[in-house]
Amino acid sequence: MRIKPNISTLVIAACLGACGGAAPPPASPAPATESTAATPSPESTAATAAAPATSESAAASPKAAPAGSPMAQLMREHFKEVEAIRRAIIAGKPHDAVQPAVALSGSVDVAKLPAGWRPPMERMHTASIRVQNSSDLAEAAAGTADIGAACGSCHETQGGPKPNLGAPPPAGDSVVSRMARHSWAMERLWEGIYVPSSAAWKLGAKALEVDPFPPEVLDSGGVYARSAAKDFKALAVQTPLKESSKERVALYAGLLGTCGTCHLATGRGK
């Protein structure tokens, strides 16, 4: 299948920002809390909508891993690898997720970790291998969501990042503004899983109530984009109803897969 959409540079740039990509973590992240004092997301301006969305999330630095320690460095490496995997799925390029997934699954000897780290690290390694061996985008998206859940299970017990609980950017009428809000919402759902944060999940679900897909974007991607958008909207209406981690992980995996399909159809996957 070859798709050659004819869309403007602005539309492509807006799609590049969709579904986001968290900023690199600071050297000394704080324990996970759901403070409402988070700085508003940079996606609130149209200029940053064309770039990967940032958030106040940071890679976990558990209480047993002081800043600058080997374990803290390991967490920062994991953060980069997980984001590389997620960005590949968002772009509709699961093959680009293979190498960071290989790095993630082979990054450490689990048996040598502190006891509290082992179960979630084993889950993360298993999910990483699933990403490596996935046969399609949906399988890779499911493995990515499970990596996030493994991270979240460790953060919940050992300490980890903060969610961004600021206000979403306004929906607006332009492609850039609407995709910026879509990006912001997807970042909050991701934080809902890997921080983990119910407050972030609920904010993301609320922001998705506004239809993020301008017709000119979908038309350029043809039936594949329209189908993906239809599936996304069917899943998005379910987000406020999901309370358990298992339900949220499964739903996020579905949303992530439709993002990749739509971006590939509209030129995001080039």
Its domain, for residue 64, covers 56-162
Q: Which of 162, 182, 215 is the last residue of a domain?
A: 162
Tell me if 23 is assigned to some domain.
no
Q: How far apart are CA 165 and CA 160, in angstroms?
A: 16
Tell me if 25 is assigned to some domain.
no
The residue type found at 13 is A
Q: How far apart are CA 144 and CA 196, in angstroms?
A: 15
* pLDDT score at 103: 94
* pLDDT score at 270: 56
CB environment 46-82: b (16+ within 10 A), e (fewer) = eebbbebbbbbbbbbbbeebeeeeebbebbbebbebb
182, 153: one domain: no
Q: Which of 162, 197, 222 is the last residue of a domain?
A: 162
* pLDDT score at 1: 37
Q: Cα–chain-centroid distance for residue 153?
A: 16
In the chain (270 residues long), the average pLDDT of successive 10-residue segments reads: 35 38 41 36 29 34 60 87 96 96 88 87 95 95 98 90 92 82 95 97 94 75 88 94 96 96 79
171, 157: one domain: no
Tell me if 3 is assigned to some domain.
no
CATH of the domain at 239: 1.20.120
* pLDDT score at 111: 86
204, 258: one domain: yes
142, 186: one domain: no
Other Cβ atoms less than 10 A from the Cβ of 240: the count is: 14
Tell me if 249 is assigned to some domain.
yes
Tell me if 4 is assigned to some domain.
no
* pLDDT score at 268: 63
Count structural domains, the chain: 2
Q: Which of 104, 138, 162 is the last residue of a domain?
A: 162
